[in-house]
Copies of this chain bind each other. A is one copy, B any other.
Amino acid sequence: MVTMKDIAAKCGVSPATVSKALNGHSDIGAETAENIRTTAREMGYLPNSAARALKTNRSLNLGVLFVDKTSSGLAHEYFSTVLNSFKVEAERLGYDITFISKDIGNFKMDYYEHARYRNCDGVVIALVDYSDPAVSRLVESDVPVVTIDHVFNNRTAIISDNVQSMVDIVEYVYEMGHRKIAYIHGEDTLVTKKRLASFRKACMEKGIDVPDEHIRAALYHDPKSSSLATRELLSLQNRPTCILYPDDFSFLGGMSELERQGLKVPDDISVVGYDGVLLSQALRPRLTTFRQDSEGIGRRAAAKLVDEIENPKMFVPTQVLVSGSLLIGNTVKKV
């Protein structure tokens, strides 16, 4: 390991000068600075992040907190895209990312403690059980935090516009002539509540009556529960002409049931997905679905978090609403 001391020795200056030169301080002569920079390069010098973190109390490291219940967290295309763009933006801004968990080795700790232990400059929170006290502790701490798709007091949140999306979907389906629209929603979360309320409101405004039996609960990203919900909807006296699914994967579960019953999409029944995963656009017929701007969400989360870290004085908790767009495929029939 070549250190600043080594460079100092070679250049005939003090380590302090090397540090300043490498960090671009103004009180070093142009010539000296240049000389130091080139020899640093020649000697293959690399800063030691641990030493720097120790001294400056800044790690240039962001924590990512998400919990993988159903062990499909990372596999969830929406979230993994968010994470990926978060990572890309964070790296562009000079930050690395580390996963935050409870209990590291034999050391029991909660999320807050883990974040402190790793000197995380900030943490992004997504896809967790927001009622977990350990999450609350982190959110209420002095660590900069940005949450995704969930709003906390005095914290910046990046949220996909779940209200507008449902409005867009309902309007489109309405324009296509449908009046019996069923909605299979995901498990009870803030996101689900918003979507459901927006769905109801949009329908009401269009003068569409939504009987309770047309609202069905399922689980996100779980083809089986949607398949079941689909079966229930199909067995109704008052059968819907269009079914909205909680996400594209859930639609695929529902599709199995539709096929089993010999129903063709969209001729016999119309469907709409949510998320706009790659796969949905490769299917034939192409799925009509709402594409969230997951890339934008991750990018903005990183940008906001870094901004809060680097300009704490000017920090104001913000809610950033990121809008997506309806991808119109061929799964909603004009009636």
Question: Does A278 touch B at the CB level, under 8 Å?
Answer: yes
Q: A46-B116, A259-B284 are in contact. Are A98 and B101 (CB under 8 A)?
A: no
A77→B84 CA distance, assembly (Å): 14
Q: Does A283 contact B (CB under 8 A)?
A: yes
Nearest residue, chain B, Cβ from A253: B282
- Complex CA gap A145/B99 in Å reads 20
Residue of B nearest to A221 (CB): B278
Task: Determine which of B46, B68, B80, B91 lies in contact with A101 in the assembled complex, contact meaning CB atoms within 8 Å.
Answer: B91
Q: Binary interface profile of A, 76-96, with partner B (CB < 8 Å = 1, else 0)?
A: 010011011001000111111
Report yes or no: B61 in contact with A54, Cβ–Cβ below 8 A.
no
Contacts of A91 in B (CB 8 A): 101, 103-105
| Other-chain residue from B74, B104, B116 in contact with A80 (beta carbon distance below 8 A) | B74
A201: interface (CB < 8 Å): no
Q: Is the CB of A256 within 8 A of B227?
A: no
Tally A residues with Cβ within 8 Å of B: 61
State whether the Cβ of A50 lies closer than 8 Å to any Cβ in chain B. Answer: yes
Interface pick from A5-13, A25-33, A106-114, A317-325: A106-114
Instruction: Please give the distance in Å from A329's CB to the nearest CB on chain B.
Output: 12
Q: Which residues of B contact A105 (CB under 8 A)?
A: 60, 91-95
Q: Please measure, in the bound complex, the distance between the C-alpha atom of A51 and the C-alpha atom of B48, giving whole angstroms.
A: 11
One of B48, B98, B224, B249 near A61 (C-beta < 8 A): B98
Which of B54, B68, B99, B284 lies in contact with A96, CB distance below 8 A? B99
Contacts of A54 in B (CB 8 A): 48, 50-51, 54
Report chain B residues within 8 Å CB of A118: 49, 96
- Chain B residues near A123 (CB-CB < 8 A): none
> Is A279 positioned at the interface, with any CB of B under 8 Å from its CB?
yes
Residue in B101, B117, B284 whose CB lies within 8 Å of A257 = B284
Q: Does A296 contact B (CB under 8 A)?
A: no
Give complex CA distance A154, B61 in Å: 32
Chain B CB within 8 A of A273 CB: no
Give A272-298 interface residues, CB cut-off 8 Å to B. Answer: 278-279, 282-284
CA–CA, A77 and B83, complex, Å? 14
Query: Does B104 contact A279, Cβ atoms closer than 8 Å?
Result: no
Q: Which residues of B contact A119 (CB under 8 A)?
A: 48-50
Question: Residues of A at under 8 Å CB distance from B?
Answer: 1, 46-51, 53-54, 59-61, 68, 71-75, 77, 80-81, 83-84, 87, 91-99, 101, 103-107, 109, 113, 116-119, 222-224, 227, 249, 252-253, 256-257, 259-260, 278-279, 282-284
